[in-house]
Structure 1
Amino acid sequence: MVAQGIADAVQAYTGLSPAAAVTVLALMLATYLIVSTLFVAPDASASSTPAAPPKAPQQQEQGPETETEPEPFVPPFPDPVQMGQITLEQLRAYDGKDAAKSILIAIRGQVYDVSRGRLFYGPQGPYSLFAGRDASRALALMSFDPNDLTGDLEGLSPDEMEVLQDWEDKFKERYPVVGRLPSEKATVGDQNGAQLDHEGENASA
């Protein structure tokens, strides 16, 4: 009875049969759901989908290929110290093997402090052979023969002397002069003077 009353009321109110009224209501409901989905879906998806993660720090974006490698550690070189006159034997101690000492090289009697060029003249450098030595003849001949590590310039050609002069000019521009080697003439003169003094002392005695 109740269902029949509802069916009669729907037909009297809408003018449609109960089946037609239900069909129209279903279509209206479906249309509402479709239309509401068009407007609600973006917001819903935004709320249901987690927010995009923040960008990673720059080092992740750069990748390992852009990471800079640490530079090799180079110990600070000591300040140049004026050595005055220094013998070849004393010069040997300044070959760069002792980090606390300067690296010295002699060219034509002048002693240069090349400590700032440790990468070249230090123990692992390509020119370490010259450190602590008189490199005059070796530089003139562009030689790495240990026998040429001497100040003897006898027999060198004008071209070789010019090469040596170029090296000497470069050293003067880049490295300070901190001492000198005793010249052979001065050494001979000192020996002669000492001998004369000794003879004079014997004569006076």
Structure 2
Amino acid sequence: MTPPKTPIAVLISGSGSNLQALIDGQQSGDLPIEIVAVISNRPEVRGLERARAAGITAITLDHKGFDSREAFDLALTEQLEQLQPKLVVLAGFMRILTPAFTNHFAGRMLNIHPSLLPKYQGLHTHQRALEAGDAEHGVTVHFVTAELDGGPAAIQAVVPVLDTDTADTLAARVQQQEHIIYPKAVRWFCEGRLTMAANRALLDGEPLPPSGYQVRHSQP
């Protein structure tokens, strides 16, 4: 018997490469999901084209049309409530969310951030890792809380930093891992394996370490 598909909504601000990984998983049947809508705070971005090409509802909610962050987040909440997703997936959604929004969707909203959190919250993570002389870098999928990039980690992929790396080459290798671990975390959630309780991420009911489930890559 085929398990029921979990309705999810994906929030984007740009090209949507992680969105494409989820679309691919939905279309292949590897992921038990139905993407009910893709919502962008920026009009005419590539991610909206990806959604339309896959027959998925594509919605623009331009943040520039709102007087405040609170007003935008309220409109976004109302839009999501109409869609009734069980999971909200942030895939390159470049907005700082209000506590009212994050609290409303607590435990059912995931984000992906290109660093080994808690290192390098915010922007320019690859360059910051290089400037710090880090031997390793990577990407984290985490539950979203009111703290920017501070929610409990579900899974991390770790890659080595090479002597020849630039911010662009390092970003490209990290992005390859993004497209692997984000669908994995979404699958865990949809299967009921990944949950959040007391500000901790749990896998199969057991608390994960602060870094989450960690996947290490010894080769470039």
**Above 0.5 in TM-score?**
no
**Which is richer in strand?**
2
- What TM-score do the two structures reach when normalised by structure 1? 0.28
**Which is richer in helix?**
1
